[in-house]
Structure 1
């Protein structure tokens, strides 16, 4: 069964478009899938199907400025003017809608890339509402973020917040193909599979090739800066298990260094965290044909253990 939902965004402007996928069997839990920067939730349908087959209800939405939410509101690449917690608060709203329909079930989050940042923001504020969380393709201190953020703040203060200057996203992400060898599209860092690269580039629901407003790039950076260090980790409930997964050739996670940085912050503050790196794989480990089933099975096993 599929429920389509629409709800008011925290930004006070947009209607967020979301979906609740319900398995035919009696559900044993709920997992909310949180997508990354410039993409949309239907890129996770294989994972969603695996979670449903395992007995989980799955919830997902398209963030403001992304996917169907952007199409319905006719606003691409701008997240509004309410600051870096907008998407996290929208995810919490979706959770409330799901729990009203399906109460009293253990609730998990899965967040990839920017979705992992949103998840980390979420568990610092609402972690006591969850049975566990998987963060995928995350990092600790994002290369160059603080310096780019200072430049963006100057541009915003000068009245250019709603404008889009691609040089800022270029500073943040332009280096990510540095270990990819021959580059033809520019998104080779996400996955070594040419089919995944082309599908990502040609997807009309993807916002990755569209400009992002200066204020939204700034909010993206501020979100990352607010989920760094043991100061962040101390806000996360210590009794909530966390599964931290990534590819060791993922530039976002600094080829594993940034992934372990996050896990170390959590370990230093007394948390139960399991870390797994997939050797030889780039950013979207869940989109490699040869390991996607293994990745999904690992997440399911983590959730089953936490029930």
Structure 2
């Protein structure tokens, strides 16, 4: 399937590396990707090929501090200042680029894990730019206490190691604990998928699995505090079709917090929220052993979302 890449200039002049996969004919819809922490957009090529077969394009930028974009910055680091604001704004830049290329084509958002959090912040400002949004491998904490406590630790680690320092303590408190839920364990990233070959590909990828900087953690935790407030979620267009999806055995959400996210969105006024939790599945649905079924289910939801009239 036709694949190409290009550099997209963000509003502050930062160069963002973008992968695009387009079907042979003009796409009938485009999916805009926001990938997760310590990974990159090229990992979604298989899903992009599946979408292309059904007439849907995919555009995915390597977020700041990730993938090829890190060539123009620092791996694992958004920015020294205002990092959260910048990564949310980058999605707006990508959406604008897609709209210029395909002015009448519906655009949907696929945000995975960290990308789902950035995606929710984007939805609060730009819901009308989209036909629908998929939040994969996400999470929700109604109480801010855990995020506040984590941010306090991140601040202390930033004082101890510097903004660009990398804290093994923060890494253990997150990813280390995630992996403890997996039995038996064969690697530090078994929590990503039940497919050992997919986990090995992640381990072998030099652009995956790195430690992020203390400043990135501060930026991310500040963003999580923002999007966990129902009054903030209420800024999302209530008519926007939303899909919350993930694995029952994903330690990020423990399954139940996907339900809590869907309920929070509904409480905030969202009227078209769907929830799909896969039994036994872990964090990366598109790399799980049931990924074909996941892809088909996502396509079916996209087809339904495309039926709803939207403002653009």
Whether TM-score is above 0.5 comes out as yes
Moved more, 48-57 or 174-183: 174-183
Structural mapping, 1:77-92, within 5 Å: 77-80=76-79, 81-92=81-92
Partner Cα separation in structure 2 for residue 263 and residue 30 of structure 1: 24
Partner Cα separation in structure 1 for residue 101 and residue 5 of structure 2: 12
Shift of 1:74: 5.6
Match of 2:105 in 1: 105
Cα distance change on mapping 1:143 and 1:196 into 2, 3 Å? farther
Shift of 1:69: 1.2
Partner Cα separation in structure 1 for residue 179 and residue 206 of structure 2: 23
Q: Deviations over 1:165-204 (max 9, x none)?
A: 2212222332112221132321111112211111111112
Contact 1:143 1:172 in 2 (8 A): no
Match of 1:4 in 2: 5
Structural mapping, 1:267-286, within 5 Å: 267-271=266-270, 272-286=272-286
SS of structure 1 residue aligned to 2:257: helix
Shift of 1:156: 4.0
Match of 1:145 in 2: 147
Partner Cα separation in structure 1 for residue 145 and residue 24 of structure 2: 44
Shift of 1:246: 0.6
1:195 pairs with 2:197:
yes
Shift of 1:155: 4.5
Contact 2:65 2:77 in 1 (8 A): yes
Moved more, 108-117 or 138-147: 138-147
Q: Deviations over 1:247-293 (max 9, x none)?
A: 1000111x21110111001112331100011001111121123x211
Match of 1:298 in 2: 297
Partner Cα separation in structure 2 for residue 270 and residue 78 of structure 1: 34
Contact 1:139 1:258 in 2 (8 A): yes
Residue-pair matches, total? 301
Shift of 1:50: 1.2
1:167 pairs with 2:169:
yes
Shift of 1:157: 5.9
Match of 2:188 in 1: 186
1:262 pairs with 2:264:
no
1:24 pairs with 2:24:
yes
Contact 2:82 2:219 in 1 (8 A): no
Match of 1:61 in 2: 61
Q: Deviations over 1:40-75 (max 9, x none)?
A: 1111111111111111121111111111111x3262
* TM-score, scaled relative to structure 1: 0.92
Could you tell me which runs of 5 or more consecutive residues in structure 2 were left unpaired when the two chains were aligned.
Answer: 307-312
Contact 1:9 1:64 in 2 (8 A): no
Partner Cα separation in structure 1 for residue 181 and residue 165 of structure 2: 31
Q: Deviations over 1:181-232 (max 9, x none)?
A: 13232111111221111111111222x2x23211111111111111113123
Match of 1:134 in 2: 134
Alpha-carbon RMSD across the aligned residues, in angstroms, is 1.9
Partner Cα separation in structure 2 for residue 99 and residue 5 of structure 1: 16
Match of 1:43 in 2: 43
Partner Cα separation in structure 2 for residue 259 and residue 193 of structure 1: 22
Match of 2:72 in 1: 73
